[in-house]
Amino acid sequence: MKNFSTVVTRAAAVALVACVVAGPVQAAECSFKPSAPDQYVVVKRDTLWDISGVFLQHPWCWPQVWGLNRAEIRNPHWIFPGQVIYFDRARGRLSLTRPGSAGTGEPPLLRLSPQVRSEGLAGQGVDSVPVGAIEPYLTQPLVIEKGALAGAPRIAASEEGHLYLGNGDRVYVRGDLQGATEFQVFRPTGPLKDPQSGAVLAHEAAYLGTVKLVKPAAPGVDVHTFTVSSSVREMGVGDRLVRTPPPAARNYVPHAPHTAIDARVMSIYSGVSYAGQSQVVTVNRGSIDGLDVGSVLQLYHFGKTVADPERKGFLGLGRATMKLPDEQYGSLFIFRVYGRVSYGLIMQVTAPVQVGDVATSPE
């Protein structure tokens, strides 16, 4: 597969840095569909990915075809249900203004009449991708990087010897808190191995809830006193504490990775063997490898090796084999990135995703 990153990175930089996309899209990879309509009416629950898919061969190219400044592209809530998206064929871009009419393409000023109940418009705008599908993975990660649990504080005992704990229960934690007072609680479930190298990159962990420090260990006391502030599953002795992370980046502007990526799907959640649209998987590449939030990868099934019906094998025995090409069947949107591991949201697949599938920079 050819290296696509240079072409798309330059195009994306132009779209994001320039105040206005001045001309038609030149890159064939971000071309419009021959059947693209002249206009589209936005409906509730649409995303920018959905809307752009009506017009573009590759919906993730949408930042390149909106005549908007950088701030507007990064905050997509300038589009609302009921608005009309126009395909400006002459300039090769999408717009909120009918081609040939006066206007900038920016959303019109909304004048609101007095109402009994009012709601913020920001919450009604269109998201870039299905945010609801990824929110739990932003606040409650299910992958813990290698080494993060080594020496992590652990629940060592509970009040009155309770085996399982829930909201409001008091627990005793042993370990170095490193000055933190709020923690997420996990139960390790197994290592995640790189499908290519076999190395352990991270550990799967069941997210159990959160605990808050009540009283640090006093001199001569071995444990810190915590209370369970929230729980989604019962906690118990031996469960591990991980410091509550800062809010994850939510800059969901899709783009090709800045470097060539050759990754593999490493795990699928919900305990299933196959994944489909809007499900979450992990890949064996992260920030160290050049991935960042918003990177888009193409998903491939490995090409099968099959018998050649017209060629005999070695020494005339059996049939010779031939390798079929890898088959591209969907896209993966990277929304959370660690050093060696990333979370991806499955987009537009025509076949089930399996562990070991290829995820590479777009062609």
Amino acid 321: pLDDT: 82
> Which tokens hold the place of 19?
């105040």
Cα Rg of the chain (Å, integer):
25
pLDDT of 109 over the 60 cut: no
Do 293 and 336 sit in the same domain of this protein? yes
Residue 117 lies in a domain: no
Amino acid 7: pLDDT: 30
Amino acid 69: pLDDT: 54
Residue 132 lies in a domain: no
- Give the span between the Cα atoms of 261 and 204, in whole angstroms: 23
- Give the span between the Cα atoms of 303 and 333, in whole angstroms: 23
pLDDT of 239 over the 60 cut: yes
Residue 293: CATH number of its domain = 2.40.10.410
Q: Which domain covers residue 215, as residue numbers?
A: 142-243
Do 156 and 195 sit in the same domain of this protein? yes
Do 266 and 353 sit in the same domain of this protein? yes
Pick the most confident of 98-112, 115-129, 202-216.
Answer: 202-216
Residue 163 lies in a domain: yes
Amino acid 24: pLDDT: 35
Residue 124 lies in a domain: no
Burial class from Cβ neighbours inside 10 Å (0-12, 13-18, 19+) for residue 247 reads: exposed
Residue 256 lies in a domain: no
- pLDDT tens digit string along 46-69? 888 888 889 988 888 877 777 655
Amino acid 166: pLDDT: 79
Do 293 and 344 sit in the same domain of this protein? yes
Identify the residue with better confidence: 295 or 74.
Answer: 295
Amino acid 222: pLDDT: 95
Total structural domains within the chain: 3
Residue 134 lies in a domain: no
Amino acid 52: pLDDT: 85
Do 238 and 286 sit in the same domain of this protein? no
Instruction: Please enumerate in sequence order all residues whose Cβ is within 8 A of that of 104, keeping only pairs 6 or more positions apart, or say none.
Output: 67, 97
Do 161 and 217 sit in the same domain of this protein? yes
Report residue 248's pLDDT band, with 50, 70 and 90 as the boundaries: low
Pick the most confident of 93-97, 116-120, 192-196, 215-219.
Answer: 215-219
Amino acid 318: pLDDT: 74
pLDDT of 277 over the 60 cut: yes
> Which tokens hold the place of 332?
């993966």
Amino acid 327: pLDDT: 86
Q: How many CB atoms lie within 10 A of CB 356?
A: 12
Residue 164 lies in a domain: yes
Do 29 and 98 sit in the same domain of this protein? yes
Do 226 and 194 sit in the same domain of this protein? yes
